[in-house]
Amino acid sequence: MTNTQVSLVQIDNYGPWTVTPEPRREADLQTMQSRLYADISQFVGNRGGYVFFTRFDNMIAVTNGLTLEDHELLQESVGNRYPVTLSLGVATGTSPVQALSDATTLVQNAGSAQDDSRRECLEGRTVDEPHRTDDDVQIAHFDVIDATGQYTDELNAFDSFIHIEQGYAELMRHMRHAHDSLSFFVGGDNVIVVCPDLEAADYEEAIRHVEDAVDVELQVGVGRGSNAHDAGFDAKHALETCRADGTRVELEW
Amino acid sequence: MTNTQVSLVQIDNYGPWTVTPEPRREADLQTMQSRLYADISQFVGNRGGYVFFTRFDNMIAVTNGLTLEDHELLQESVGNRYPVTLSLGVATGTSPVQALSDATTLVQNAGSAQDDSRRECLEGRTVDEPHRTDDDVQIAHFDVIDATGQYTDELNAFDSFIHIEQGYAELMRHMRHAHDSLSFFVGGDNVIVVCPDLEAADYEEAIRHVEDAVDVELQVGVGRGSNAHDAGFDAKHALETCRADGTRVELEW
Amino acid sequence: MTNTQVSLVQIDNYGPWTVTPEPRREADLQTMQSRLYADISQFVGNRGGYVFFTRFDNMIAVTNGLTLEDHELLQESVGNRYPVTLSLGVATGTSPVQALSDATTLVQNAGSAQDDSRRECLEGRTVDEPHRTDDDVQIAHFDVIDATGQYTDELNAFDSFIHIEQGYAELMRHMRHAHDSLSFFVGGDNVIVVCPDLEAADYEEAIRHVEDAVDVELQVGVGRGSNAHDAGFDAKHALETCRADGTRVELEW
Amino acid sequence: MTNTQVSLVQIDNYGPWTVTPEPRREADLQTMQSRLYADISQFVGNRGGYVFFTRFDNMIAVTNGLTLEDHELLQESVGNRYPVTLSLGVATGTSPVQALSDATTLVQNAGSAQDDSRRECLEGRTVDEPHRTDDDVQIAHFDVIDATGQYTDELNAFDSFIHIEQGYAELMRHMRHAHDSLSFFVGGDNVIVVCPDLEAADYEEAIRHVEDAVDVELQVGVGRGSNAHDAGFDAKHALETCRADGTRVELEW
């Protein structure tokens, strides 16, 4: 049974900071946001987790394997190296959406995202080491079938992008409402979804739904593990099986 | 009259590289993609341009003010510091979508995105210095009205994200098909759109369309300039006027 | 009694890479070297270690607290994100110089630094968790007394730099030959030294030696811990005591 | 005749910042310093200049080709993305040491390096475009003959480092006092020196001096150009000639 540990990473007071005393150069904001995300990806990723850039001022991570001390160290390190600080909420549960919701509430209770005095809050709880199992995390890695042949080498780059965005927008809503799952576009034509205990039929149905709704053809590899990296790496291998065998859904167990 | 110079930045052979000899750690791919984008944002941004992360393996930039030699230097610098290389196509035109389309064709003609032998192509043309004017670029900076109060401080972080994504997906399609414009989510609740010569009525209509379609309320500041930074900075100031005065559409000229 | 775990980090085949097929832009080499070092500093530092940039193609780290699996992960992550790869040797001992020497031998035995076929070697052993103690690492943090008043605000920036370099060169040789210690300039007017079990008299003597030899006045804070961060953080606090009280040598235990 | 444009880059109030409110993690300081340097290396390097990390809180750059507006943009960009700010002084002259000295004085006159109220000063003058010539910059690129065979593959990594540091310390003092030149260790076994109009005999003498004083054998390639990159790239090619032909001094003109 899944027991997903989800952390919400929120930059403190970011909206006001970006325009105080004057609006800042957009290219510099993009650079800083991306490098901050990249650093968090290394920190979380090196401990077996995944973090998704999401909205950049709010990032969602699957942090099974990271302790609260780890979260505190991440906060401290960012505070030493960036002109902004982070607040973090951590929660766990069978349902990824519920865990994310609980994590969000922890941060919201500490104060508004634009509350000048709310800085570096850290609240929540992690999955205790003795309670961790190989089923805690289920990751599904979707991609568009032959995106290069269908889109990238054929359409203009923005129309390719529109197709992939429409596919992502449809999948993200469906997986959240039908399956309590959190879906993230990760570049190229790839979407990684954090799921509870779903089965092949659920993935087949999701793929059909997206194809019917927006005419984007997806395939998916699914993996499980005690942390996001293990589950996700299995999912990547399962996806390679889809590519090799021409199948639409492959579960790595 | 707008004369947008658009550059398509495409990583060579990226799909195969990410899985050869084995799939690579997802957190490392995310880190590398984000830092590559951040570097390009500095290079392009320091010369008055804007680059958008788009799909990360394909990035779209507004490069009025950058010469072909600048593009070549960017390619060389990335090739010296990353395990991947870039191909670039550059085109210009009244319509941003048309310019992007021409830029894409230049790269596609050089070879497939997954063609092992296509490396570091550079094709295209820039706007000559004597022909540059203060109208060349029109940038519109949209954001969601009171996103913090409506979403960030109220909903769980993924539902906030879904709302913003739906708004973005709707705006991007409408602006592309109705107005030949290229729209990019840039973090938070912000979308930057690269437009041809549009007027207040066009922006009012776009805002109404998105509100009717997905119930997301947008406001927009619009600026013009000889390059993306100048146009975009004026747009940011116009957006501050919306925030201060409670208006929905502000043009900075 | 100290039991320093030292890791040698060596870039594979770097000399030839920098000039193949043609010499590469110096500014790009500097950027890549510095960012690679910064990443290793985060990885090692987040686990309680210290890494020093040393020669950039060869970096020395104090890695008490890092396992061989940690070293392997670092190698893998760098290989995924940089155009170069790393070989690592790890050794332990009472004498930091001896441990570093053993670590070097492990890498040298695997192959030359410019051996095209030597890639990503990892050899050595770490201090087992049950055998770790709070005395394993001794760190001394030296700085120049009132460098800002004596040099930075008075001399031209290169002459300030020459004074500090001469002080460092003298201290590094003395600490290595008289005390089996490894000394590293870390910016500003600061030198961090990795020591075996030294006493106040040893540090007083070192300070006198440098003052007599090159007329540079140092003060030092010394700390001990089970890892470099703990020892070094105590050393920083001891150094603050020197600054506050005007003393030359302070031991934090 | 050389006309070197030298910029001093000094972090504002850095010493106090590193210990306020408490000392900061050393690994984080190292990461931030290195990444700041790397960014400045990209900015300056992309415009044909060279910047050297020097003391990290004080960096020296050869900036022929950069305008004062370029310097201002660098300041603004760093201020948007780092928790520190920069002050800059720019000066020109036949003698690199004199230019650096004048640049330093400009910053010192604006206020102490630890003056809380001195932030983001920018003073000085650049070489006007019409006055630039292909002789403005002379760069000498020294390295140790067969460092890999003599040191890296033979001695422990710290003793290799000591030899190279001793060679550097001797060369830097000699070149500054005898030849008004600024010398910088740039990694590996390489030292880059910014010179006035020197001749082959001056370099032969410098090499002999270092060999006699500390028994380190150097070779050198020298180049000239209108900016540091052009001069330095020629110097790299000249050094390749030394390596290929076994000569000690090669001038690329």
| Distances in whole angstroms, Cα of residue A10 to Cα of each of A20, A40, A97 | 19, 12, 17
The whole-angstrom distance between B179's CA and the closest CA on chain D is 33
User: What digits encode the pLDDT tens for the residues C112-130?
Assistant: 888 888 899 999 999 999 9
A14-23, A179-188, B191-200, B228-237: lowest mean pLDDT where? A14-23
ipTM, 2 decimals?
Answer: 0.96
- What is the spatial distance between Cα D37 and Cα D58, in angstroms, rounded to a whole number? 10
Q: How far apart are CA C41 and CA C61, in angstroms?
A: 9
Question: Which residue in chain A is spatially nearest to D33 when comparing CA positions?
Answer: A81
Q: Is there a contact between A43 and C39 if contact means CB atoms under 8 Å apart?
A: no
Give me the pLDDT at residue D115, please: 87
A73 contacts in chain C (CB < 8 Å):
46
* Chains with at least 3 CB pairs less than 8 angstroms from chain D: A, B, C
B86 to chain D, closest Cα gap in Å: 17
pLDDT at C72: 98
Please answer yes or no on whether B77 and D39 come within 8 Å at the CB atom. Answer: no
Domains and CATH numbers, chain B: 4-131 (3.30.70.1230), 137-251 (3.30.70.270)
Residues of chain D in contact with residue A77, where contact means CB-CB under 8 angstroms, are 25, 28
The residues pairing with B219 across neighbouring beta strands, listed in sequence order, are B143
Locate the chain A residue with the closest alpha carbon to B48. Answer: A27
D28 contacts in chain A (CB < 8 Å):
76-77, 80-81
Judge whether C117 is closer than 8 Å to chain A, CB to CB.
no
pLDDT per residue as tens digits for the range A56-102? 999 999 999 999 999 999 999 999 999 999 999 999 999 999 999 99
Amino acid letter for position C1? M
Q: Is A215 on the interface with B (CB under 8 A)?
A: no
Of A28, A77, A82, the CB nearest to D25: A77
Contact indicator for B64, B51 with CB cutoff of 8 Å: no
The Cα–Cα gap between C140 and C219 comes to: 10
Query: Residue B220: which residues within 8 A CB-CB, separation 6 or more?
Result: B140, B141, B142, B143, B203, B206, B207, B238, B239, B242, B248, B249, B250
| Contacts with C73 from chain A: Cβ below 8 Å | 46
Closest to B202 in 3D by CA, of B147, B140, B246: B140
Contact A163, A145 (CB under 8 A): no
Q: How many CB atoms lie within 10 A of CB B51?
A: 27
pLDDT score at D149: 87
Which pLDDT belongs to residue A111?
87
Q: Are C38 and C53 in contact (CB under 8 A)?
A: no
Chain C CB contacts of D232 below 8 Å: 26
Q: Closest partner residue to B83 among C35, C77, C83, by Cβ?
A: C83
Say which DSSP state D48 is in.
Answer: T
Judged by DSSP in three states, A92 sits in strand
pLDDT of residue D153: 85
Lookup result for tokens 């690994």: D27
The answer to whether D6 and D99 are in contact (CB under 8 A) is yes
Cα nearest neighbour of C17 on chain B: B80
Structure tokens, D52? 């050297």
Neighbours of chain C (3+ CB pairs under 8 A): A, B, D
Rounded Cα distance, C100 and C10, in Å: 13
How distant is the Cα of A81 from the closest Cα of chain D, in angstroms?
Answer: 6
pLDDT at site B193 = 98
Per-residue pLDDT reduced to its tens digit, D193-247: 999 999 999 999 999 999 999 999 999 999 999 999 999 999 999 999 999 999 9
Q: What are phi and psi of B9, to 5 degrees?
A: -110, 115
Q: Give the closest residue to C51 by CA, choosing from D190, D36, D31, D59.
A: D31
Please report the pLDDT score of residue A152 as a whole number. Answer: 85
Cα Dmax for chain D = 57
Flag whether residue D24 sits within 8 Å of chain A, measured between CB atoms: yes
Q: Is A39 on the interface with C (CB under 8 A)?
A: yes
Q: Is A41 on the interface with C (CB under 8 A)?
A: no
D119-148 pLDDT, tens digit per residue, is 999 999 999 999 999 999 999 999 999 898
CB D35 within 8 A of CB A42: no
Tell me whether residues D60 and C157 touch, CB distance under 8 A: yes
The arithmetic mean of pLDDT across residues D105-117, rounded, is 90
CB contact under 8 A, B77 and C32: no
**Chain-chain contact of A156 with B188 (C-beta, under 8 angstroms):** no
Instruction: Give the chain C residue nearest A72 (alpha carbons).
Output: C46
pLDDT at C112 (0 to 100): 87
Chain D residue numbers with beta carbons less than 8 Å from the beta carbon of C12 are: none
In A, residues 51-90, which contact D (CB 8 Å cutoff)? Answer: 76-77, 80-83
What number of other Cβ atoms are within 10 A of residue D69's Cβ? 9
- How far lies B158's CA from each of A60, A61, B146, B148, C122, in Å? 8, 11, 17, 14, 42
Q: Which two tokens stand for residue B94?
A: 């009244």
Whether the CB-CB separation of A51 and A44 falls below 8 Å is answered with yes
Note whether A73 contacts C42, CB cutoff 8 Å.
no
| Yes or no, beta carbons of A28 and D83 under 8 Å apart | no
D42 touches chain B (CB under 8 A): yes
Choose among A41, A56, A187: nearest Cβ to B188: A56
CB contact under 8 A, D38 and C42: no
Q: How far apart are CA A197 and CA A206, in angstroms?
A: 14
CA of A140 to nearest chain D CA: how many angstroms apart?
A: 34
Query: CA-CA distances (angstroms) from residue C95 to B11, C53, C251?
Result: 48, 21, 19
pLDDT tens for residues B5-46? 999 999 999 999 999 988 999 999 999 999 999 999 999 999
Reported as a single tens digit per residue, the pLDDT across B90-141 is 999 999 999 999 999 999 999 888 888 889 999 999 999 999 999 999 999 9
Q: Indicate whether B163 pLDDT > 90.
A: yes
CB contact under 8 A, C82 and B83: yes
Residue C25 touches partner B, C-beta closer than 8 Å: yes
The model's pTM: 0.97
Helices marked H in chain B: 14-18, 26-45, 68-81, 96-110, 147, 157-179, 200-214, 228-245
Contacts with B82 (C-beta within 8 Å, 6 or more apart), sequence order? B32, B36, C81, C82, C83
Mean pLDDT for all residues in chain B: 96
Which of the residues in chain C have pLDDT under 50?
none
Q: How sure is the predictor about A54, in pLDDT bands with cuts at 50, 70 and 90?
A: very high
At A202, list the tokens: 């659920």
Q: Do D43 and B39 touch (CB under 8 A)?
A: no
First CA to last CA across chain D, in angstroms?
Answer: 14
